[in-house]
Structure 1
C-alpha cells in the first residue's frame, strides 16, 4: 500500500463517497423518539448493506430490546494475524430547536467546505469513514493487514442500554486485539488529537424528608428540622474550601499522572484568559497544585447538579417544606470503582445526616473510567499516522466526560482502545447546524489508511 495510490483512489471516488454519506445522513435515525423507530431501523439496514458491499461477512442485525446492533467481519488475514474491532453508532440526537437550523437537519447541505446535517460528525460521518478507508485499502491492495470486525449500535445517544449485555454475551464473537473508536474531536482545528482515557461516572439523588406536610414557618420554624437546611448542610459536607472532596477514601485508588503524560499536557498550551472569557468566570476553582487540564481530565470530581424543594414561585411563602432533594454526579478516574465510590458516598451521608430528618439515597447510572497506557504501541502508531498526514505533532489528551460503553469494551474485551476522532469543537455536535469539515473528512480517511499501515508495523505484522 502506497500513500500515492490510496490518495489517488480516495480522490477519484470522493464524489461518490460524499453522495453515499449524504444518503446516510438523510435517514432521521433519532433513537430517543419512538416516532423514528422505523427510520432508526432503516439506518441499521443501510449500515449493514454498506458492510456487505465492502466485503464484510457474517453481516447481521442483532436484535435487542431497543434498536439493533450491526455486526460484520472480515477474517481472511489469518488466525496468526491480529484482529481490530471498529465501534461506532448510527443513531443521532433529536434536532430541537428546529427553527435554529439554517437548513433542514435531514437534508444534508454542503456549504463553505462543511457538510451540515444531524449525525454529520456524531457519529455517522466518522463511522462511515472507517468503511470507506477499508474500501480504499481493499481496492488498492486486494487485502487487509488485519482481521476486522464492526460493531455499530443504534442506542449510543440514549446511553447504550442494551450494548453492555450484548458485548458480554458475545465476547468471543467480538474478541479483538485492538479496538478503534472515532467518536471524539480534535482539541482544535489542524491539531490532531488522540484521547487515550476517559473519566467514569456515578450518580445519585438525595431525598430528605422532614415533617409529613409543609408547615407554617412562624408556628414551627426553629422547633422542626427544615429539610432544605439539612440538604444544604449535607452538600456542604462534601467539599472543603479548595474544592477537595472530603468523603473518606474518595482519592485512595486514584492513579497519578506519569511524567510523560504531564509533559504531554503541558505541551498542549493553555490560554487561561480565553477559557475564562468563553465560560464567563473571573477565576478558576479547584484542587491546588493541579492544572486546568489535570482538574478536568485526570482528577475525580463531585458536582451538585440540581437542588430543589419548598416554594419556587414569585414572592414569599413562609413555609417550612416537608422535603428537599439534590442530584449529584461524580466523575471518576482510574482506578476508582463506581460501586466502591457509591458505597463511600452512602457512608458519608449516613455519618453526616442532620438530626430531625430522614435521608434516602437513590443510585443512578454508572460507568467505569478507562485508560489505555500512553506508550502503548497501538496509541503511538495512531500518533504516527496523524503526523504523517497532518504534518504536525499529535496532541495527547484524556477526556473529562464519560463514554460508558468504552469502559465496557475495555473491561470485557481486555484490549487497548484507541480513540482517534476527526471532529472539531466547531461541529455543533448535539446542537443545531451540526456539521463536519470536509478537510477533516478527507484527511481523516488518509489517516485511517495510514494507521493500518503504522499499526501493522508496530505489531510486527508482515
Structure 2
C-alpha cells in the first residue's frame, strides 16, 4: 500500500514551513562534544531535555544506562511495544558531535546557532547526526499522529560517544540483547552517494590505523660527514611505505586485501557515478586498482592511505640525517577481510623486502560489516523508496567510512538498512558543517514512506 498523499504533503510542508528548521535549531544549541568535559554536561541535558521527551511523545518507555567503559558516555533506549505479533524495528542515532571549531566558521557563524543561507543550514551536528535522527523521529511522530499506531514495535537506541569510536557500545549491546531484540535496523548517518541520489547502504568499511616507526639513533648527524654510510630513517620509511602501497595507490600486501569482490556487490555498484556534486574532486585516473570501477574501489574494496609522514623539521630542514622517521597509515577494509594479524602481516612483508628495522603497530576502530545485498529486506526497502523518489534509489553494499554497524549485524544478528540524510560535501567534522534543506525535505518523505510501509507489512503478516 502506497503512503497516503496527505502524509507525503505533511512531511514536505513541515520542512517548507520552517518548523523542521526551528526544531533542529533547538538540537544544535546543545554543544554535545563527547571528548570535552563541558560536552558531557551538554550530552546529559540533551538526553534529558530533547531525546527523552521526543521518545516519550512516541509512547516509548525510556531508560538511561551507564556505559560499561568509563571512556564513554551513557546510552538511551526507548521502547514501544504494540503487539508481540508485530515486527520490531530498531532505530539508532548518536547524540554527540565533534569539536565546534569556534572562530573558524565562514561569515562569523556560531557552530551552536543554526543559520540558513539559501538551501544550506549551518551548525555543528546539523548533518552529523542531529538532523538525521530528527528526520526519523519526526517521521515516526507523523505516522503515529496519522494512524494512532505505528503498526510495528519500536526500539530506539541512542549512544553518546560515536565521534570518539563508540567506547563501550559492543559490550553494552551484548548485555542488552533482550532489550534490543528486533527484526530489522533502520538508521541514518553518513552521506548519500551524492546530494541528488536517495541512498541505502547496508554496512560500513572497517578501519585499522597502522604506525610505522623507524627509530635508528637518538641524534642527527651531518649529512656531508655521514651521508652514504648511515642509514637514513626517512629514506627507509619511504621505501617501506612503497613496498606496502605503491606510488599509484595499489596495495602490495596480499594479506591486506579481501578474498574477492562478490558478484552481488559488483552488480549493486554497476553504473554508479562518483563525485557528481558541485565542488567534489574528480577521481584521479590511474589511482588505485584500475581493474575495478571507481564505485567498486570506494565501496567494495580495501585502500591503504598515508595519513601523515614526517622526519625532523620539514619546514626548517638542516644538513643532517635525522635519527627517526614516523608515518601513520590507515587501512579501510570491507567485510570478509581478515585483519586479526595486520601488524604481523606487514612486519613479515617488510622483513622480506629488507625493512626489518621498521617497527609496526596497529590499532583497529570500527569493524567492517554489511548486510547481504540479496537480503529480502533490501529489495523491500528499495521498492518502497523508489515509489516516492524522483529517481532510482542507490544501494551501496558498504558506506565508505566507518560506523558501528557490526554491533547490529554481528552481535544482534539484524539486517541493517542505513538511509542517510546528508551528502559528501556537508563538511561534517569541519567548520561550516551543514544540512541541505532539499535533502531534509526528501529525507522526511523517504523515512515516512518506509515506516508507513513497515506498518502495513506488519498488519499483513
TM-score, structure 2 normalization: 0.88
Contact conserved, 1:190 with 1:390, CA < 8 A, in 2? no
SS at match of 1:338: coil
- How many angstroms does 1:192 deviate by? 0.9
Contact conserved, 2:197 with 2:391, CA < 8 A, in 1? yes
SS at match of 1:59: strand
Q: Does 1:132 align with 2:138?
A: yes
Aligned equivalents of 1:303, 1:436: Cα separation in 2: 28
The answer for the alignment partner of 1:35 in structure 2 is 38
Q: Does 1:186 align with 2:188?
A: no
Contact conserved, 1:377 with 1:459, CA < 8 A, in 2? no
Extract unaligned runs of 5+ from structure 1: none
The answer for the alignment partner of 1:55 in structure 2 is 59
Aligned equivalents of 1:334, 1:11: Cα separation in 2: 37
- How many angstroms does 1:92 deviate by? 1.6
- Please, which of 304, 307, 312 is the counterpart of residue 305 of structure 1? 307
Q: Does 1:381 align with 2:380?
A: yes
- Please, which of 224, 241, 246 is the counterpart of residue 235 of structure 1? 241
After superposition, give the CA deviation of every residue in 1:347-389 in whole Å (9 maximum; x if it has no partner).
223433437xx43222223332122111222222222232222
The answer for the alignment partner of 2:101 in structure 1 is 96
The answer for the alignment partner of 1:393 in structure 2 is 392
Indicate how the Cα distance of structure 1 residues 374 and 99 shifts in structure 2: closer, same or farther if over 3 A, else same: same
Contact conserved, 2:373 with 2:397, CA < 8 A, in 1? no
- How many angstroms does 1:86 deviate by? 0.5
The answer for the alignment partner of 1:216 in structure 2 is 222
SS at match of 1:60: strand
- Deviating more after overlay: 362-371 vs 65-74: 362-371
Aligned equivalents of 1:445, 1:292: Cα separation in 2: 30
Indicate how the Cα distance of structure 1 residues 270 and 212 shifts in structure 2: closer, same or farther if over 3 A, else same: closer
The answer for the alignment partner of 1:339 in structure 2 is 340
The answer for the alignment partner of 1:168 in structure 2 is 174
- How many angstroms does 1:391 deviate by? 3.0
Indicate how the Cα distance of structure 1 residues 305 and 108 shifts in structure 2: closer, same or farther if over 3 A, else same: closer
Q: Does 1:107 align with 2:113?
A: yes
TM-score, structure 1 normalization: 0.88
The answer for the alignment partner of 2:252 in structure 1 is 246
Contact conserved, 1:40 with 1:91, CA < 8 A, in 2? yes
Q: Does 1:437 align with 2:436?
A: yes
- Please, which of 205, 213, 219 is the counterpart of residue 207 of structure 1? 213
Aligned equivalents of 1:179, 1:281: Cα separation in 2: 32
Aligned equivalents of 2:228, 2:45: Cα separation in 1: 62
Q: How many residues align?
A: 454
Contact conserved, 1:62 with 1:70, CA < 8 A, in 2? no
The answer for the alignment partner of 1:365 in structure 2 is 364
- How many angstroms does 1:329 deviate by? 1.1
Indicate how the Cα distance of structure 1 residues 343 and 408 shifts in structure 2: closer, same or farther if over 3 A, else same: farther
Aligned equivalents of 2:335, 2:145: Cα separation in 1: 41
After superposition, give the CA deviation of every residue in 1:106-150 in whole Å (9 maximum; x if it has no partner).
222344344332211211011112212111122221222222111
The answer for the alignment partner of 1:415 in structure 2 is 414
Indicate how the Cα distance of structure 1 residues 371 and 142 shifts in structure 2: closer, same or farther if over 3 A, else same: same
Contact conserved, 1:338 with 1:368, CA < 8 A, in 2? no
- Please, which of 266, 270, 275 is the counterpart of residue 270 of structure 2? 266
- Deviating more after overlay: 6-15 vs 142-151: 6-15
Contact conserved, 1:303 with 1:328, CA < 8 A, in 2? yes
- How many angstroms does 1:419 deviate by? 0.9
- Deviating more after overlay: 12-21 vs 261-270: 12-21
Note the 1:280-319 alignment, pairs <5 A. Answer: 283-314=285-316, 316-319=317-320
Contact conserved, 1:115 with 1:436, CA < 8 A, in 2? yes
Indicate how the Cα distance of structure 1 residues 11 and 301 shifts in structure 2: closer, same or farther if over 3 A, else same: closer
Extract unaligned runs of 5+ from structure 2: none
